Amino acid sequence: MKLELRSRFYSLATAILTPVVLIRLLMRGVKTRAYLQRWHERFGWFKNPHFKRKSIWVHAVSVGEVNAAIPLIKALMKQYRDHEFVLTTITPTGSDRVQQIFGNQVFHVYLPYDLPGAVKRFLRKTKPDLAVIMETEIWPNLFRFCKKRDIPIVVANARLSEVSMKGYRWVESLAAKAFNNTTYVAAQTMTDAKRMIQLGCDGDRIFVVGSLKFDIIIEDEIVKKGEDIRAHYPKDRLIWIAASTHLDDEIEILDAYAVLKQRHPQLMLVVVPRHPERFQSTTQACRNKGFQTQLRSEDGLSGLDTDVFVVDTMGELLEFYASSDIAFVGGSIADIGGHNVLEAAVFSLPVLVGPNTHNFEEITQLLNDCGGSFLVHDANDIIRSMETLVNSQQIRKQMGQSASELVEKHRGAVQITMQMIEAIMNKSALPVGVQSKHFPIKNK
């Protein structure tokens, strides 16, 4: 009874706070117009797709989660050709990525707010046979109504950082109930699994399968585009990419580059800001530093005398990784929690990464332990690490090879997650190989 009262209170609180969320969307829309569009979808109002068959629904909140989900979604589409596919995101950049990769192969809408009416409308129109929720998107009403409609839920690539766990504390009992409305939770690491159990998730549902991010797919087209970009520059030109950057990352990067450029004129910096609303401010910061700066949207590729090239377009990060020699992965000096270092590692790049990586804690540690990365805290650390890398092709090669080997060694989460999904769809027992990943068994 107490839980039912809490559910009602949660729904009431969510409804009361909805205007605050809409005001936040308005504020973000000042810089990024896409946030002002398609609000009706966020309340479950969208054109009914009138599916003639059941669907499989995958939710990935934004670009990073969409990228991680791509190998799993492609495996699902190959295995379940008799189903429609629904993909939901929360951010416009995530939406753009879905459209770029899958186009009209999928039905895409924004995930509705966790309001009972919105959730019911969404589920009624999309009619999913299965819900696959990426990472840590735990919505009490959404999971509750899936359970009522007998829609099995798999939380794929599940992670729960210390920061996220603290954020769920105020709705701990509801979060625990939501977790326990799932069929399986495919946790990335043992640490994630332990935190989920601390939050109240039933250990019998949890399997530690590794990260889907290790199963990253690099299409030949991406490699070719990277080769074409690289061929534009002389062989002695070194390209250093600062990827998925935020303001505090860029302050240290640009300070370091001001010193490095004086010592190594052949070094060019490519900056890829994480959010499109920062393209203009990033460009201005580069020019204020006195760097000859060009933009992807205006110039295509930079001139040979360019110091900094700002990639102010979406969905092109991988091809610029493919054309680079050294990478810095952002959100890690900035206190964001880090972004996906494996997108750089798969291209055999030595990686610089800051200390704030709680979103990728164990993956970042693995990369450091294998010798594929340098930890940097500020401009001085960056200068020291970059001096080592710029001056030694051999060190760059060794670190890049270690990074690439790490990715290959840890592939396989897609296969295990697919076996879990197949057991649900076929109403069969889990294969022995999956059962061996069961949290309580591995914890004994």
Alpha carbon distance 257, 91 (integer Å) = 32
- Is residue 422 among the annotated active site residues? no
Q: Which two tokens stand for residue 59?
A: 């939710």
If 0-12 CB within 10 Å is exposed, 13-18 middle and 19+ buried, where does residue 429 land? exposed
Torsion of CA 224, 229, 232, 238, to 10 degrees: -120
Burial class (CB in 10 A: 0-12, 13-18, 19+), 440: exposed
Place of tokens 């589920």: 123
- Specify the amino acid at residue 191: T
Give the pairing type, strands 373-375 and 267-273.
unpaired
Q: Are 318 and 302 in contact (CB under 8 A)?
A: no
Q: Which residues contact 328 (CB under 8 A, 6 or more apart)?
A: 240, 241, 242, 243, 245, 249, 253, 351, 352, 353, 376, 382
Angle between helices 413-426 and 63-79 (to 10 degrees): 50
Distance CA 386, CA 209 (A): 35
Dihedral sign from CA coordinates of 227, 228, 234, 239? negative
Give me the catalytic one of 65, 84, 137, 252.
65
Which DSSP category does 106 fall into? S
Half-sphere exposure of 329 (CA within 13 A, CB side): 29
Contact 337, 353 (CB under 8 A): no
Region of 13 on the Ramachandran plot (φ > 0 left; ψ -120 to 50 alpha; else beta): alpha
Judge contact between 354 and 382, C-beta under 8 A.
no
Are 257 and 269 a contacting pair, CB within 8 Å? yes
Which sequence positions are flagged as catalytic?
65
